[in-house]
Amino acid sequence: MVKQSKSKTKKNNSKGKQSDFQFVFRKENYRWLLIGAAVVVLGFALMTGNTDELFVDNKFTFNSHIKVTLAPILVLVGFAIQGYAIMKRPKSVEKDELS
């Protein structure tokens, strides 16, 4: 059987009955999701650019350590941060389940 948890957030609907409504993510979860998305975008931005070394005279060539190692690591770290944001439970839920 599935236990039903009691929600602390109760709102009156249009018929006057109380309904349990609670968002899955909290503000902190969304903050971690945005940080992870920003890291992923930064990683992909570092991977972009011209890869033709004959006509490019800058540090961001194809053999650059930034494009080959740092950018993919940033993308993976960003995805890990987003995974953490999805799996993170609010402290109030953890306390409710322990008691």
Q: How far apart are CA 40 and CA 82, in angstroms?
A: 9
> How would you write the pLDDT of the chain (99 residues) with one tens digit per residue?
555 555 555 555 566 666 677 778 888 999 999 999 999 999 999 888 665 554 555 555 556 777 888 999 999 999 999 999 999 887 766 565 665
What pLDDT sits at residue 84? Answer: 95
- 85 close to 33: Cβ distance less than 8 angstroms: yes
